[in-house]
Structure 1
Amino acid sequence: MKRLFILFICLFFSIHIYCQENNCLSITKSKHQEQLQIAIEKINHGINSKYVESQKIYFSEATDILRSLNDKVEYPIVNYYLALTYIYKPDNNFTLAEQYLKKVIDACPDEIPEAYFHLGKLAYTTNQKCDAINYFKKFLTYQGDFDTLFTEAKMLMKWSEEICELINNPVPFNPKIVKGISSQLDDYLVSLSPDNEIAYYTRKTKDYQISGYKSEPAFQEKFYYSYRIADNVFDNGKEMPYPFNRNENEGGATITGNNKELIYTVCKMVTSPRQYYNCDLYSSKNIKGYWTDIVPLERVNRPDTWESMPSVTADGKELYFVSNRPGGVGGYDIYKSFKDENGEWSEPINVGEPINTPGDEKSPFIHTDTRTLYFSSNGHPGMGGYDIYYVKLNDNNEKPEVKNIGYPINTENDEMGFIVSIDGKYGYFSSNNIKNESIGGMDFYYFPLYNEAKPEEVILIKGNLKSDDTTKPIKATVQIKSMESKHITFIPVDEDGDYVASLLKNEDYLLTIKGEDIVYQSTYVAAKDSITAPVIKLEMEVQPIEVGKHYRLHNIYFAFNSADILANSQKVLDEFIVFLNDHPTLQIGIEGHTDNVGSDEFNLILSENRAKAVYNYLVNNGIDANRLQYKGFGESSPIATNDTEEGRAMNRRTEFVILKD
């Protein structure tokens, strides 16, 4: 609190000189003037001293002198300096300071403008932001040599107005406890896997340590995980298995979208070359269901600084974390690192202003949309302590607008560890201040998140490529093409054939397998469809190009009982044309099939016309007709039963066969 108050030594003397010319502030006895001067000097010494004990002595002596003066005659100017001692002394008393300042303005409403300035700062510091506005407004009406104080008053008044606006316009907030994770112990630093199926968190457990001949209780931070069993309900959780929980304190984790790379915080005592407590970031990979030994993030960690609170994007390519390394904007800042093509993390960069401030920023959380960053800060205008803020990141290097998430989500207490569900429906946080819901200690809560603070709507593709040849790793990538913007990205596939992609829900996408001698295979994802789930699991089969083999053209749809190709299916055929152009020697046959609804003759004609429609589309878009044939088979070649709608849907299909390579 003390650092909030800025006061210059000359201020004391300018008031003292001025007050001798003013009856309201005058001190008639020269002895009293001398005592006041001594008190002022002691206040100055107290402010300038670097040592707390010296500060206590100076302020105590100044307070005794000023009280003694007031016992004789209550001077308004003495009350003013008494207020200052209660503001600046190490064991400050803002309540008494406010009382003395109000006495000053009651007795001399216009003689000491600085009294309004300090009343404004007291109101601001003690979470009376709306009251602070009026004091600052009053102070700014005065003339005088107040340039520095005016600058600060204008800034604090602006912040007070913003916070008062928050208080007067509360956001919806109805927190409920998350069952399973919350226990009678402290549970905090919770993170959810991007698919929201697993929660990772820190639990402060009571273990026993041997001290001499006795076993004494001691608390230790341990790393836990829980599986989701219903909406906002998880199992009771277990300690993370080997290789975790082998250090003094562990937790504060983040995990990639495929649930295969986990980055978390390890804190322990460093003993060489000097002894100090330090936190660093480590990673582990899940291979075939087992976690690898943890390894430090070499370029991210520094031996002499604190790195913690990581948050990784779903694709595992960007990492946000907190560090107090030199050269930052403030104390603890948010930093960012990128993973290169070799899987190594880059040298971190400070995300800079306006996110970071001269204060401290903590608990960054980058949503699955990769655009919405939530974090806590005590350096932005806020309700008090650490407040939760969010920004919408952009690609054009414009400075994002930092927004306070609002009251009563933010309070005069510290709010940290905030995260948001993949669908943006819920916000989550840990707290020990929700008394009517608490199980004990710090518990984990959720609440419906209001619209303005929600992230972009996204879907998370969790895909797998399968192959009949299980003896060789799959050498392929997945191309994702945005149907509106035509933007193309390539997603790597791991040794298990798994891949993950986070996609904004404002476009539809076409996913296509790409690789040498791999036949065309694609899936159309209608992300814009409002009923599309936030997490989509896809399987596609990797097949080699073989003469005589039949392959399905997925997502080729026609108007009912017609050969008119639907618009989205034309986009699938456009990518099929790319495949044919990449393999100019291929000759293929287009084959149409129907279910058994309708007559044999009608279905045969319909399938022939549909195969011809695909043939015509390919020819009209540049494929040599000599490379193509087409034929309709009607209902003669089903691949599933026609007794169910699901089976009939499978039988209504378009295929192609490799005639010549």
Structure 2
Amino acid sequence: MLRYLFALLLLSASATAQNVEFTKDRFGNDKEGLKNALKEIKIGNEWYEADPPRFEQALPHFLAAQELNPNNALLNFRIGHCYLGSAGLKAKSLPYLQKAYQLDPQVDSRVHYLLGRALHMNAKWSEAIAEYKAAQPPAGSKGASTLQNDINKKIAECQSGMALQKNATRAFIDNVGPNVNSSSADYGPVITADESVMLFTSRRPGSTGGEKDPDSGGYFEDIWQTTRNADGTWQPARNLGTTVNTQGHDAVVALAPDGQRLITYVEDGAGNLHESSLKGAEWAKPQELGRRINGGQSHEPSAAYTPNGKFLYFVSNGSPKSNRGGHDIWRIEIDGRSDAENLGSVINTPYNEDGVFLHPDGKTIYFSSEGHSSMGGYDIFKSELKNGQWSKPENLGWPINTPDDDVFFVLSASGRHGYYSSTREDDGLGSRDIYMITFLGPEKQPLLSGEGQLLASRAAPLRETLLAPPVAIASAQVTILKGTVTDAATKQPLEATIDLVDNTLAQTIASFQSNSQSGRYLVSLPSGTNYGIVVRKEGYLFHSENFDLPQGAAYSEVVKDIPLKKLDVGAKVVLNNIFFDFDKATLRKESTAELQRIVQLMGDSPTLRIEISGHTDNVGNAAYNKDLSQRRAKAVVDYLTGKGVAASRLTSAGYGDTQPVSSNSTKEGRQLNRRTEFKVLGK
């Protein structure tokens, strides 16, 4: 009986659904309306039939004609096809293609394939697979092999989507708000490691030159910047101005973790990468990166800095002999001479990769791919570098990934927040908006028994209101050190050099600059290294810090303001990277870099006279502590004289526990009191 009623409903629907042509006999009383509709269709067809088709330009003309006649099969088909070909609008194609098929099942030979695409874009996985199967070409027909391979891939994407949606990623996905997003397309966010600054690309009014792209009809891309407030909101975005933005397309693709270097994409011919540095509050004019990165006719749409700023990961379709597919991910030493290295088949597929981002931990890469286990278009994947090899890429899952393209994802150093652009009808402000993802971590049991977990939907943020409060996620293995560098006397900001030293290897592995206007600095310290941090500026005593971060050390953020002291008589600093064996005066090898820095300072200032002093906490016998501190200070002096520094310029002193800088009642205080100091006696 139910089957009979269903068949009857279908017959009734087909009886009432009639294809209505745009002819005088159908619209005789509305000649002007018919004339205008035919004019709109003619203009729309010119865009639609262009090579390549201009779907976004054709769409408004077809929609205008449909207002007069919503029941024309071919017009509905072309509207649906235009939506499928328009960025961020693909999901809107479904009702038009369904209606086109209902009005005329023979409307176009591609109707089953496009219906499959529309259902796919709306995450109707099983229905999409059925339409894809109905679209399979006859064996031996022209282009059958290519089309069949494409259909097979899309069926696999739907199967992947079904599996991923059943195990949705626990996350909040929230629009970052109207201070960042506009009624136009906003996308491609990049952030500093601490999320304090965001740059992004926008096609909003107010772009440099104020002109529109004749190919797409939207405003030319410009780069905009916003700063995060203490409460997590964002300040109103500002255009970076004509120094960075040109009359044409300018898009941001990478920001160094400290926010002092920027890579832009400029559409000059094939499309190349440029780099700019922050000078105070203003960005310098971007300079094209060399031909080792930008090939002659190749296309480089994406890049990412390593935490030390020495290497660059980038996407390119150059070098066909070593490419896995169209666009691959490569790695290169920025100031080196060697050619770029392809990341290989674990990361790169026969399809396109894009949107590369390296986390500040230095070992986790995020990228978008049309291959691997994509649920449609580009999906975002994650891979970790283990023992020199990249792990199998892991799909970030639903609802972060959708059937449409998901590209240009970045993650905060803490691993708690991700940022990307998406199209979501319920809270979107424009065709594409920037969203913040908050990862929730492992699932907790429901507070109310009998209520199932709410599934994520593409159109809405995942808000699991029936679940217990989210548990903490696994912490990223990186420490963020940040603060300001100032003159100790005047308190004015200083532009200083911050050297990052591997104490075990006694090598400087990276150098950064504090901002010349604000004095701000930020350094990413991946776990697994004993770091020496040295802040230096000509005419000042250097300042050193030590961070010994064992492998697997959890995420932390340390704020350290550094007042540099001028190289004047009486000035002194703690040598935080001088290390001794326990209860001995034997210098450890990790002290080498700091000791060599003193040797260099003495060579640069040939009249400088200094005192090296040793200090202890108050644990144990005072006389013993004084003797130990004296022997340790002398060990430093002996090293310096052994490197050619005249003994007459050096004095050693052991003060034991008589000059504490902190309370001896706490473990942290006693640690600060156990130190070696450097004091200027004469210039």
Between the two proteins, the alignment pairs up a number of residues equal to 509
The question of whether the paired residues in 1 share the 8 Å contact of 2:500 and 2:509 is answered with: yes
Q: In the TM superposition, what is the alpha-carbon distance from 1:577 to its structure 2 partner?
A: 6.7
Aligned to 1:458: 478
Q: Does 1:431 align with 2:422?
A: yes
Q: Does 1:613 align with 2:628?
A: yes
**Structure 1 position 479, deviation (Å):** 5.0
Cα distance in 1 for partners of 2:182, 2:172 equals 20
Asked if the contact 1:607–1:632 (Cα under 8 Å) also holds between the matched residues in 2, the reply is no
TM-score, length basis structure 1:
0.60
Q: Does 1:310 align with 2:303?
A: yes
Q: Which amino acid in the other structure matches residue 331 of structure 1? A: G
Unaligned runs of 5+ in 1: 1-50, 53-85, 99-121, 137-147, 212-216, 271-277, 559-563, 595-602
- Per the alignment, residue 436 of structure 2 pairs with 446
Q: Relative to 1, partners in 2 of residues 1:243 and 1:368: Cα closer, same or farther, differing over 3 Å?
A: same
Q: 1:391 to 1:659 in 2, by over 3 A?
A: same
Q: Which amino acid aligns with 1:320?
A: Y
Pairing 1:276-315 to 2, within 5 Å after superposition = 278-299=270-291, 300-315=293-308
TM-score (norm 2): 0.58
Distance in 1, Cα, partners of 2:663 & 2:524: 36
How far does residue 204 in structure 1 lie from its aligned partner after superposition? 1.4
Where does residue 197 of structure 1 map in the other structure?
196
Aligned twin of 2:510 = 491
Mapping of residues 55-70 of structure 1, within 5 Å: none
Q: Are the structure 2 counterparts of residues 152 and 321 from structure 1 closer, same or farther at C-alpha, using a change threshold of 3 Å?
A: closer
Supply the RMSD in Å over aligned alpha carbons. 5.8
1:548-627 pair list within 5 angstroms:
550-554=572-576, 588=611, 590=613, 592=615, 609-617=624-632
> Structure 1: how far apart are the matches of 2:210 and 2:677?
72
Partner of 1:174: 172
Question: Within the alignment, does 1:321 sit opposite 2:321 as a pair?
Answer: no
Q: Take 1:93 and 1:374, find their aligned partners in 2: how far apart are those partners? A: 35
Write the deviation string for residues 24-78 of structure 1: whole angstroms up to 9, x where unpaired.
xxxxxxxxxxxxxxxxxxxxxxxxxxx99xxxxxxxxxxxxxxxxxxxxxxxxxx
* Alignment equivalent of 1:91, drawn from 110, 113, 129: 110
Q: Compute the displacement of 1:525 (Å).
A: 2.5
Shift of 1:415: 1.4
Residue 488 of structure 1: how far off its partner (Å): 4.5
* Runs of 5+ unmatched residues, structure 2: 1-50, 53-104, 134-145, 212-216, 443-472, 642-646
Contact 1:232 1:446 in 2 (8 A): no
Contact (CA 8 Å) 1:329, 1:356: kept in 2 or not? yes
What is the rounded CA distance, in whole Å, between the counterparts of 2:633 and 2:127 in structure 1?
69
**Residue type matched to 1:318 in 2?**
F
Cα deviations by residue, 1:270-324 (Å, 9 ceiling, x for unpaired): 5xxxxxxx42212222224332222222312234332222222233222233333
Separation in 1, partners of 2:344, 2:387:
15
Task: Tell me how far apart the structure 1 counterparts of residues 275 and 610 of structure 2 sit (CA, whole Å).
Answer: 49
CA distance in 2, matches of 1:535, 1:203: 33
- Relative to structure 1, is the Cα distance of residues 481 and 659 closer, same or farther in structure 2, using a 3 angstrom cutoff? same
Structure 1 or 2, whichever has the larger Rg, is 1
* Counterparts of 2:669 and 2:487, CA distance in 1: 24
| 1:245 aligned partner | 245
Q: Are residues 1:350 and 2:348 paired?
A: no
Task: Tell me which amino acid in the other structure corresponds to 1:378.
Answer: E
Matching of residue 478 in structure 1 with residue 499 in structure 2: yes
Instruction: Select which of 400, 405, 414 maps to 2:405.
Output: 414
CA distance in structure 2 between the partners assigned to 1:532 and 1:350 by the alignment: 30
- Sequence identity of aligned pairs in percent? 24
| Alignment match of 2:125 (pick from 118, 124, 128) | 128
Letter in 2 for 1:166: L
2: CA distance between counterparts of 1:391 and 1:530? 19
Distance of 1:460 and 1:244 partners within structure 2: 28
Which of 562, 567, 590 does residue 539 from structure 1 map onto?
562
Partners of 2:477 and 2:553 within 8 A in 1: no
Q: Which amino acid aligns with 2:125?
A: Q
Residues 599-658 of structure 1 show CA distances to partners (whole Å, capped at 9, x for unaligned) of xxxx899766534333345678995999875444876x798999xxx9999999764557
- 2:366 maps to 374
1:362 equivalenced with 2:381 (yes/no): no
Q: Quick one: structure 1 residues 455 and 311, their matched pair in 2 at CA, closer, same or farther if it must change by over 3 Å?
A: farther
Offset from partner CA, 1:395-445 (integer Å, 9 cap, x none): 52x353111111232222221221111111112221112x33323332211
Q: Deviations over 1:318-353 (max 9, x none)?
A: 223333335022223323332126xxx865443332
Separation of aligned partners in 2, 1:280 and 1:527: 38
Matched, 1:511 2:533: yes
SS of the residue 2:267 aligns to: strand
Contact 1:330/1:359 (<8 A) preserved: yes
Give the equivalent residue in structure 1 for 2:92. none
Per-residue deviation, residues 230-250 of structure 1 (Å, max 9, x unmatched): 354211101112312222221
Match of 1:10 in 2: none
Change (3 A) 1:410 1:522: same
Residues in 1 aligned to 2:238 and 2:363: alpha-carbon distance in whole angstroms: 32
CA distance in 2, matches of 1:374, 1:509: 26
| Equivalent pair of 2:485/2:496 in contact (CA under 8 Å) | no
The 3-state SS of whatever aligns with 2:325 is coil
Which residue matches 1:42? none
Aligned-pair CA distance for 1:360? 1.6
Please state how far the C-alpha of 1:475 moved relative to its aligned partner.
10
Counterpart in the other structure of 1:13:
none
Q: Which residue of 2 aligns with 1:139?
A: none
- Deviation readout 1:92-144 (Å, 9 max, x if unpaired): 4159999xxxxxxxxxxxxxxxxxxxxxxx999986379979x99xxxxxxxx
CA 617–169 in structure 1, closer or farther in 2 if over 3 Å, else same: same
Report how far residue 175 of structure 1 moved.
Answer: 0.8
Which whole-Å deviations, capped at 9, do the CAs of 1:507-537 have from their partners, x for residues lacking one? 5533356999997853123657989743544
Residue type of the partner of 1:612? D
In structure 2, what is the Cα distance between the partners aligned to 1:161 and 1:510? Answer: 50
Would the alpha carbon gap of residues 305 and 150 (structure 1) be closer, same or farther in structure 2, given more than 3 Å must change?
Answer: closer
Cα distance, 1:183 vs structure 2: 2.5
Instruction: List aligned pairs for 1:7-406, cutoff 5 A.
Output: 91-94=110-113, 128=125, 164-179=162-177, 180-206=179-205, 219-230=219-230, 232-267=232-267, 278-299=270-291, 300-325=293-318, 327=320, 328-340=323-335, 347-394=339-386, 396=388, 398-406=389-397
Cα distance between partner residues in 1 of 2:633 and 2:299: 60
8 A Cα contact 1:170 1:408, kept in partner: yes
3-state DSSP of counterpart to 2:190: strand
